Amino acid sequence: MKKQIMATVALLGLMVAGTAFAELKDNNDGTLIDTTQRLVWLKQADCFGKVSFFDAQNKPYGLASGMCGLSDKSTAGQWRLPNEIELRSLQGNVSKFNGNISDWYWTSNPGTAPSTSKCILPTNGATQSFDRNSTHYALPVRSIR
């Protein structure tokens, strides 16, 4: 009984913390699908290079099939910048991405100080706030249609 209670408490703790980790499947169309979070990630992790936060917010909206190795029939307006929980779900599960995935990536979340936004290191889930004019990578995501 004690083991069941401890297991239930641990599971609830994970659910509350929002730490469901991605289970990625390669779609062979330039995307990786995470069936756990019901998200589609751009496989080419460094498609836009390092950009400011403002470009990181805008560039995903223009992304469409035919760009960045995509052949998924997606259209402009379907992609966006992920939030902190979505991006952190990739922690330690980045081997299927192409390009540089071991650097800081912008999230859509505000930072801890004015004019900053949060970034995540997908390799280990570390979080840090950066000035929005600094340059880091952006990893577009979209919901499963």
Whole-number pLDDT of residue 112? 94
Give the tokens for residue 69.
């190795």
Report whether pLDDT(15) > 70: no
What is the per-residue pLDDT across 25-47, written as a single tens digit (0 to 9) for each?
A: 999 999 999 988 899 999 999 99
Mean local confidence (pLDDT), 91-102: 93
Domain holding 10, by residue range, is 2-143
Report whether pLDDT(108) > 50: yes
**pLDDT above 90 coverage of the chain, percent:** 79
Report whether pLDDT(13) > 50: no
Whole-number pLDDT of residue 21? 75
Q: How far apart are CA 92 and CA 110, in angstroms?
A: 23
- Mean pLDDT value across the chain: 89
Whole-number pLDDT of residue 4? 54
Whole-number pLDDT of residue 16? 40
Q: Strands of 116-121's sheet, edge to edge? A: 105-110, 116-121, 126-131
Number of domains in the chain: 1
Sequence-distant (6+) residues with CB within 8 A of 138 are 48, 51, 55, 56, 59, 60, 81, 105, 106
pTM of the model: 0.84
Whole-number pLDDT of residue 19? 55
60's enclosing H/E stretch is: helix 53-62
**Residue 74, domain CATH:** 3.10.100
Whole-number pLDDT of residue 36? 86
